[in-house]
Structure 1
Amino acid sequence: MRDIRAAVHGGVLAISFLLMACSSSPTKDEADSGPDVPPDLRHVQEPVPRKEPRSRFGNPESYTVLGETYHVLDSAEGFSQRGIASWYGNKFHGKRTSSGEPYDMYKMTAAHKTLPIPVHVRVTNLDNGKSIIVRVNDRGPFKEGRIIDLSYAAAHKLGMTGTGTARVEISALTGDDDSTATNTNATGSSAGTAPRNTTTSAAGDEGLFFVQIASFRNEDSADEVAAQVQPLVGYPVKVFEADTDDGRVYRVRVGPLSRRDYAEKVRDHLEGKGYERPAIVGP
């Protein structure tokens, strides 16, 4: 089933449609999946509900998909809904969402047909009682009977990646502190270099493992490799700055990972992707 993402460009009402596939019910030509390496998602935090300005993108008054017209709500205040949730993952990782932000299947996000973008909602799995908070930044799903499309990480925490769909209840959440609001534009969160850790220790986090991919004297080279690796793994990719006898170096590492077997899987996966001799660093 194809989901169609709607966006408003440059303040001018011009809706462009991006075809998307619903990963929980793939067709032969539209298969989707989770990450190649089973991730440790304990580091993934739920977003904190807060008031945010409406995105410049993805909030037309109405839009039409597959012959049906949807009207975007003026407000999410008091909104609740029950129905079927699905999820989308690897196939769309890194592609633009309706808000203009890149889709990251390791973040707690979701797609909804009519809620204003962005907005935070609580999603409760009615089959197992698990509950999570996600940030809606995309449009869809447009398959009949489905009310929300969750990121891979959100679906995993809700216990529905194996089943593909689940009966859920969603309710909108609003933050009370206007001072925490930030503007969401076409590029999403502010761009910058890879996460930075300055350390002279072996791993940087006591009792945890990392997979070191490479070490550079040039900071830009390290940032470039970190950006290339991030979509391949379900863990943070960081650049560690360290002073050595030969000068400052920038080490690109995946982690932290709580178990050595996770590190071994990441190492083997990266070797299969063409990265030479990634090394496990840790206790």
Structure 2
Amino acid sequence: MTNAQNTHTTVNEERQRLFRRVMVYVALTVVTLIMAFPIIWMVSVSLKPTVETFSLPPRLLPNSLYLDGYTRIFENPQFRRFLLNSYLLGIVVTILSLAIGTLAAFGFSRYRFFGDKAAKLFVITTQMVPSITLLIPFFGVIVWLRLYDTIWGLVLTYLTFALPYAVIMMNGYLDTIPRDFDEAATIDGCSPLGVLFRVLLPVAAPGLISTAVYTFLLSWNEFLFALALTRSVEMRTVPVGISMMVGEFGLKWDEMMAFSVIGSLPVLVLFMLVQRFVVSGLSAGGIKG
């Protein structure tokens, strides 16, 4: 091939790479706009009076800043109670899932015992059962334990869904850490728990953070069991509280969307702060060492 042909081939390859790169960015932009539009519209409606929400043609930006929906939410003690319940549930379930799940994952990762494979398979299988099929059995168990309409009944219920994931996630992450770390710590006099807390967990920080974020999101967003296992208004959570705002003869869109924004804000802020750890934790947790 002559120099001219080589130059022409190189130019064509550069154009093809540039075209593929542009198409990737266009596709990512379209997908991002599609995913972000419901959030943008939710914020927009929360800043409008209900009458302006149904104006034609629709307007994304409000005519003026309208904060009455947010004011009524913060002044209502019931809505503050819903937020408190959701925060309490999310924090307690996250702490218990990390504590129990990390210890179980450490056992699966570092020790071999009779029935370990069957136990691990059972933990994985629990994630395949649709949660809706467990509603009635859970209701009977919670009533029998006299935990109906209590925060601890919801904690126990959410823990059964979050704990298997915590075990699977942390087990996958701990498997990626070389056993040389354990041997070096043991030679220095560490006990098995010392190896876990002093050596492995600092290295497994991304896995811990990603697991914590998932369990918190599960507790924060869950609706079905929070509705079925509670009766009093004082025990309702944010998702159930939003559904209670649908009235028989009308709906205050600005108030409901304001509460939705307030309920979504902790989740969005939490994910934005730790997204780097979540991505690295999820990718590493899916690799077997």
Query: Which structure is richer in relative contact order (CA contacts within 8 A, separation 6 or more)?
Result: 2
Indicate the structure (1 or 2) with the bigger Cα radius of gyration.
2
Which structure has the highest strand share of the two?
A: 1
Which structure has the highest helix share of the two?
A: 2
TM over 0.5: no
Q: TM-score, normalised by structure 1?
A: 0.17
